[in-house]
């Protein structure tokens, strides 16, 4: 005799003895007199959360004694306060130590639906449940043949109760659907390691009709399992031990409710208006508590600004009159010809000219937006990190314009290879701090900026330059940069009469210029999106900043966000390398991590060699000198062309985002192409302006 058989036999025996005291007719009369049931289906599926069915359970055959629960009504009220959508009450007395008396107490204590959980195999038990005020009953497919399952289900439905039909296998799910189950409990615990197995869940839940509510029924203990189930598509979860044995029941339920809301919030469509803190499982706020007040304030002020037409008016005015927006969309026919020579694809190529913005890069879009927020917050001091120096220059510029005190942190290696930008920032009145700790590159500059911010957060704003870091930075910086794609879309239509591009290419360090140009096209499936990371000496060399290729980045938390991260076997951040200081970063913005995981953007990389070759191509064919960062996008265009060709495109329209201009990179390029005499190169080195960090380090 199996455990289930034994439990069923016991339940039937107990039912018979109850029936002697209260015959079926009496129970039926009580059932008709009972207040009508709550429609539990309305409670078990929500657009903005994962409803939690919290269970009152003293013991189970598999785990023995769990909790005394002297006052089930009090426990139910705690569950309800914590945000539970329904309460499940075990009424089986032999092994689960429950009773209908427990059920009555709970029913009287809460206003949310209550589930009678028992081994129900007779009509009497269904009537009895209704007589005690149940809104939901449980039927276990494994304990019932098809006819019995159907007649009990129909009876419960005829009494306006909702039935949670518990299944364990695909076959049982099919049986449940066949007899008309509307709420199906799915058990996807992997019996080997007892973990929730999302693949198993997907396998089980595949081709369930849309109107069936899916309840994850086993193995939910805490937020981790709930999130796993929620991401796999469960509508609701049933939790027993994880809430019944918690020290604080209300808090335990509430943690689950919040975790469900988080997952749901991150699943809202469309892609383009996706808001943090979470992009799928990425993002968040992995920062010291000391920064939370400042992040909350920033989020609040930004939300207010977003809703304020005056803010948008001021930003638009400065974008036009100070930055020089819109930046042009330039057709590049001679470059297109070279692309054709190399790849055989006859494409029309357009360049989005962020290099023509004031200060020479897209960075000013974000710096300006955040600086206006600094004014709104009433802060007086701005700090920022910079890699290539472009964000530092943009920040120093807007601070000069708005009269804000400004300090820029820059890794010592970056400061050397971008010496001209250091001079520019100082010219603009900013204090430049060379960071000599760690690897002395962008990440170390961010560490120092974060330390400064933790210390001086009262009057200081950290003007983060990319779509990374803690919420709200990834969403906010994206919002300030998305003008790039919005303009490009409009210009392509207005200037060139082309409805939409077939491909967008952008370089990805932290990822702000890429997000900026891609956002307007995220929900247009006709547009292929390509992001190119810094390949350095290639993925096998170990000297690169590729986070997305297999065998490179892993899931981790870095500088405030959960994303892909280059780390060693100990979880320590790896040294990155790229000829381009602006792409030389161990992690990547969480929205990109999400876009990679959902397959919306194709990510690949361009090596130093490829980027420098593309740099030269664009200089020679179009008279446009791109930043070395942007040259990775140009190099990527060749790779994208190959992909488009393979997809069958004959005459695609491609846009490459030229995120910045290359004047700052002349030392590096001069050395790379041997355009400098040894003497000139030496003179540059003596000034501290080294070509790239491969030399002399």
Partner 1 sequence: MTNATASTPSGQPLGISHKPSPTESMFEKFKAADKPAFIGYLPYGFPDPEYSLKAFRTMVEHGVNAVEIGLPYSDPVMDGPVIQAASQIAIDNGEKIANVFKAVETVANAGGVPLVMSYWNLIFHYGVERFARDFENAGGVGLITPDLIPDEAGEWIEASDRHALDRIFLVSPDSTEDRLKIVADNARGFVYAAARMGVTGERSTIDASPEELVTRTRKAGAKNVCVGIGVSTAEQGARVGSYADGVIVGSALVHTMLDESGKHAVDEAAGLKALAAKTEELAEGIHNARN
Please give the residue ranges that form the binding site for partner 1 (CB under 8 A). 62-63, 66, 193-195, 219, 221-224, 227, 241-242, 245-248, 251, 255, 259, 284-290, 292-294, 296, 437-438, 443-444, 447, 450-451, 454-458, 554, 556-559, 565, 567, 570-573
Cα-Cα end-to-end distance for the chain = 74
- Can you read off the two tokens belonging to residue 260? 């469900």
> Whole-angstrom Cα distance, residue 556 to residue 564?
6
Q: HSE of 546 in the Cβ direction (CA atoms, 13 Å)?
A: 23
What residues form DSSP beta bridges with 529?
504, 601
Which one, 45 or 471, has the nearer CB to partner 1?
471
Residue 195: phi and psi, rounded to 5, are: -85, 160
- Ordered alpha helix ranges (H), 220-291: 223-232, 241-244, 249-265
Judged by beta carbon, residue 219 or residue 485, the one nearer partner 1 is 219
Q: In the bound complex, what is the minimum distance in angstroms from residue 598's beta carbon to partner 1? A: 22
In the complex with partner 1, which residue's Cβ is closer, 528 or 559?
Answer: 559
Q: How far apart, in whole angstroms, are the C-alpha atoms of residue 467 and residue 478?
A: 6
**Integer Cα distance of 629 and 585 in angstroms:** 12
Q: Please identify, using beta-carbon distances, which residue of 441 and 656 lies nearer to partner 1.
A: 441
Q: Nearest distance from residue 287's CB to partner 1, in Å?
A: 6
Check if the beta carbon of residue 146 is closer than 8 Å to that of residue 175: yes
Rg, C-alpha atoms of the chain: 31
Helix or strand or coil: residue 662?
A: coil
**Number of C-beta neighbours around residue 277 at 10 A:** 21
Q: How far, in Å, CA of 527 to CA of 636, rounded?
A: 16
Q: Which is nearer to partner 1, 565 or 579 (CB)?
A: 565
How many helices (H) and strands (E) the chain has is answered by 27, 24
- Contact 644/507 with Cβ under 8 angstroms? no
Copy the structure tokens of residue 187.
């058990």
Establish whether 630 is a catalytic residue.
no
- Residue 452 CB, nearest approach to partner 1 (Å): 9
Shortest Å, Cβ 252 to partner 1: 9
Q: Is 310 a catalytic residue?
A: no
How do beta strands 86-90 and 52-56 pair? parallel
Please, which residue, 45 or 262, has the CB nearer to partner 1?
A: 262
Establish whether 363 is a catalytic residue. Answer: yes
Whole-number minimum distance, CB 308 to partner 1, in Å? 24
Angle value at C-alpha 431, between 428 and 433, nearest 5 degrees: 135
Q: Is 3 helix (H, G, I), strand (E, B) or coil?
A: helix
Residues 6+ apart with CB under 8 A from 318: 368, 372
Residue 2: CB minimum distance to partner 1, A: 17
In whole angstroms, give the CA distance from residue 68 to residue 58: 6
CB of 460 to partner 1, least distance (A): 10
Name the residue nearer to partner 1 (CB basis): 79 or 127. 79
Q: Which of 45, 57, 105, 363 is catalytic?
A: 363
Tally of CB atoms within 10 A around 12: 15
Least distance CB 76 / partner 1 (angstroms)? 19
- Identity of the residue, 154 or 567, whose beta carbon is nearer to partner 1 in the bound complex: 567
CB of 339 within 8 A of CB of 639? no
Catalytic sites, residue numbers: 363, 385, 659
């Amino acid at each position: 005799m199996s455990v289930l058989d034994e439990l069923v036999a016991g339940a039937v025996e107990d039912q018979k003895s109850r029936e002697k005291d209260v015959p079926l007719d009496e129970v039926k009369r009580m059932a008709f007199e009972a207040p009508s049931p709550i429609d539990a289906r309305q409670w078990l599926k929500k657009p903005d959360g994962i409803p939690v069915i919290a269970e009152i359970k003293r013991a189970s055959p598999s785990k023995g004694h769990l909790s005394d629960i002297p006052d089930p009504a009090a426990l139910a009220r705690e569950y309800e306060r914590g945000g539970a959508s329904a309460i499940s009450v075990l009424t089986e007395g032999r092994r689960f130590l429950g009773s209908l008396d427990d059920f009555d107490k709970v029913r009287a204590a809460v206003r949310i639906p209550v589930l009678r959980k028992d081994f129900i195999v007779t009509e009497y038990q269904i009537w009895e449940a209704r007589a005690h005020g149940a809104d939901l009953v449980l039927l276990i497919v494994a304990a019932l043949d098809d006819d019995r399952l159907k007649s009990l289900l129909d009876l419960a439905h005829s009494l306006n109760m909702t039935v949670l039909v518990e299944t364990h296998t695909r076959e049982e799910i099919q049986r449940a659907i066949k007899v008309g189950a509307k709420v199906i409990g799915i058990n996807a615990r992997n019996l080997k390691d007892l973990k929730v197995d999302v693949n198993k869940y997907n396998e089980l839940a595949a081709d369930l009709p849309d109107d069936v509510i899916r309840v994850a029924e086993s193995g939910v203990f805490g937020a981790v399992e709930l999130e796993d189930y929620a991401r796999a598509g469960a509508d609701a979860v049933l939790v027993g031990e994880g809430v019944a044995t918690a020290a604080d029941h209300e808090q335990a339920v509430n943690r689950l409710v919040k975790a469900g809301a988080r997952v749901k919030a991150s699943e809202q469509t469309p892609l383009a208006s996706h808001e943090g803190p979470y992009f799928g499982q990425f993002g968040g706020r992995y920062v010291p508590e000391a920064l939370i007040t400042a992040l909350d304030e920033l989020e609040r002020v930004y939300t207010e600004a977003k809703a304020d037409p005056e803010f948008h008016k001021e930003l638009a005015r400065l974008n036009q009159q100070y930055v020089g927006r819109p930046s042009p969309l330039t057709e590049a026919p001679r470059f297109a010809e070279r692309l054709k020579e190399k790849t055989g694809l006859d494409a029309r190529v357009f360049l989005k000219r962020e290099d023509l913005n004031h200060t020479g890069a897209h960075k000013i879009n974000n710096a300006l937006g955040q600086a206006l927020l600094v004014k709104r917050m009433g802060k007086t001091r701005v700090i920022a990190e910079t890699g290539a120096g472009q964000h530092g220059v943009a920040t120093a510029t807007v601070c000069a314009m708005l009269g804000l005190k400004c300090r820029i942190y820059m890794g010592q290696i970056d400061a050397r290879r971008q010496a001209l930008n250091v001079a520019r920032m100082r010219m603009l009145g900013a204090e430049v701090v060379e960071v000599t700790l760690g690897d002395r590159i962008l990440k170390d500059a961010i560490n120092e900026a974060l330390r400064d911010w933790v210390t001086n957060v009262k009057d200081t704003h950290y003007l983060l330059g990319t779509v990374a870091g803690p919420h709200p930075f990834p969403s906010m910086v994206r919002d300030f940069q998305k003008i790039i794609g919005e303009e490009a879309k409009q210009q392509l239509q207005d200037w060139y009469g082309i409805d939409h591009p077939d491909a967008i290419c952008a370089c990805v360090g932290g990822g702000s210029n890429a997000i900026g140009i891609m956002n307007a096209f995220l929900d247009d499936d006709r547009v292929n999106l390509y992001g190119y990371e810094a390949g350095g000496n290639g993925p096998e060399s170990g000297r690169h900043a590729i986070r997305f290729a297999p065998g490179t980045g892993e899931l981790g938390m870095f500088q405030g966000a959960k994303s892909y991260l280059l780390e060693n076997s100990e979880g320590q951040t790896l040294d990155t390398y790229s000829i381009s200081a602006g792409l030389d970063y161990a992690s990547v913005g969480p929205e990109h991590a999400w876009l990679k995981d959902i397959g919306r953007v194709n990510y690949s990389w361009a090596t130093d060699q490829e980027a420098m070759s593309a740099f030269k191509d664009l200089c020679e064919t179009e008279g446009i000198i791109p930043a070395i960062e942007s040259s990775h996008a140009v190099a990527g265009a060749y790779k994208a062309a190959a992909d488009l060709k393979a997809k069958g495109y004959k005459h695609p329209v491609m846009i490459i985002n030229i995120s910045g201009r290359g004047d700052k990179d002349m030392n590096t390029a001069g050395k790379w192409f041997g355009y400098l005499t040894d003497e000139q190169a030496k003179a540059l080195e003596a000034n501290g302006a080294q070509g790239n960090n491969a030399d002399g380090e």
